[in-house]
Chain A
Amino acid sequence: MENLRYELSTTKPAGGTRAVGLVGVVASGNLEVLLERGEAPDRCVIDIATPAHGFAALWQAVTADFAVRMAAGGLRITINDGGARPDTVALRLAQGVHLMEKPE
């Protein structure tokens, strides 16, 4: 397994009040994304565990783009990857942020 961590500066704090959110499952071509609060509002930390080695550059690009585009400030995100493509990763991250905005 390869473990990656990205500590990103964000522009918008995450919305909503939900403490924890989970989207996706760990399956082939899929991933689970756990979202928790607890970081500074201008920061987002993403921990990734993936069985596919050697894709750090791709993960860096996807997560950097996410931090710029989505309201992810204050979130601590944990990703368990089942070998997802970058577009699936981006989709799940966006779903996760939307879930955190919804009332429980």
Chain B
Amino acid sequence: MTSPSPTRHSWYEESARGRLAHLLDPGSFTEFLGPERREFSPHLGLFNLPHQLDDGIIVGTGRLDGRPVLVAAQEGRFMGGAIGEVHGAKLTGLLRAARQMKRDVVILFDTGGVRLQEANAGELAISEIIRATLDARAEGVRVVGLLGGRAGCYGGGSLIAGCCSALVISEQGRLSVSGPEVIETNKGVEEFDSRDRALVWRTMGGKHRYLIGGVDLFVDDDVAAFRAGAVAALERPATLDQAVLTAEQARLERRLARFGDAADGTEVWARLGVAHPAGVPDLDTSAFLTIATRKREGADAAR
């Protein structure tokens, strides 16, 4: 999980279906409401936009290292993985089943957030997904999020991720509510220059999120590494009760007290005690993990 293998196979570059094929035990996957069922968005035609037969999300069941899991994978290349009525309802249904079955769930995030052409339905779907996620977690179900897709995990998608019991990220994974372009459009280039890719990684990229305890595991951009990460994340506790949320409150307050006036990711990392913060973006996974595991803020299951 930490050393780049010679036969590295990019998670970022894979399709949603390709990722599922590599994540799950061979031949174990069964899709629910697959493309042949033609449950696509009824709203895109209004905008002369093509639909996709699975509405950009694949939901189903399979085995991960022998363990039965429910899975959902967003396709970031179709409309940026955006969440519309059907897309969202597929995930809601899966999570409701997870609660009833007490079956763990793995979500392969790859989304820009709400799909604007069906914004109200998408927004509401996200709220329903969040409630279904929390209701499932109340029954002890683990909901693991994998963050390494090309569309990142933005908008309402990032709030769903924030409700997962454990998160796995790669350097390429970006996790934030407002994306760089959205901040720049609304607040100006002085607030956020979306073309400054290094700034994007330092502010919302996988390394920063791992260092501040926003995620639990950091892996290579590799399908096998994500599989190993998912297996490890499924071993983490999923309890969601008053004590966990009180601990999360304290954890997030401590973060603000410690770093709230930092101007940049590098300043946060310096305060964590990272010796050469400016060099962090250039570190390979194993060098990064050597430093990060000693210096990072852990979430300690307060999630």
Do chains A and B stick together as partners?
A: yes
Interface residues of A (CB under 8 A from B): 1, 20, 22, 25-27, 30, 32, 34, 36, 49-51, 78, 80-82, 104
B194 within 8 A of A: no
Q: Is the CB of A26 within 8 A of B35?
A: no
How many residues on the B side are at the interface (Cβ–Cβ under 8 A)?
16
Q: Is the CB of B52 within 8 A of A49?
A: no
Q: Is the CB of A26 within 8 A of B52?
A: yes
Evaluate whether A51 and B53 lie within 8 angstroms (CB atoms) in the complex, with A22-B35, A25-B75, A27-B78 already known: no
Contacts of B27 in A (CB 8 A): 104
The answer, among A1, A34, A50, for a CB contact under 8 Å with B53, is A34
**Interface secondary structure of A, over-half rule:** strand
The answer for the CA separation of A6 and B51 in the assembled complex, in Å, is 20
Evaluate whether A36 and B36 lie within 8 angstroms (CB atoms) in the complex, with A26-B51, A51-B49, A80-B51 already known: yes
Contacts of A25 in B (CB 8 A): 15, 52, 75, 77-78
Contacts of B52 in A (CB 8 A): 25-26, 32, 80
B262 → chain A closest CB, angstroms: 37
Q: Is the CB of A1 within 8 A of B45?
A: yes
Q: Is the CB of B53 within 8 A of A20?
A: no
If A32-B53, A81-B50 are given as contacts, then 19 extra A-B residue pairs at C-beta distance below 8 Å, sorted by A number, are A1-B45, A20-B34, A20-B36, A22-B17, A22-B34, A25-B52, A25-B75, A25-B77, A26-B51, A26-B52, A26-B78, A32-B52, A34-B35, A50-B50, A51-B49, A51-B50, A80-B52, A82-B50, A104-B27
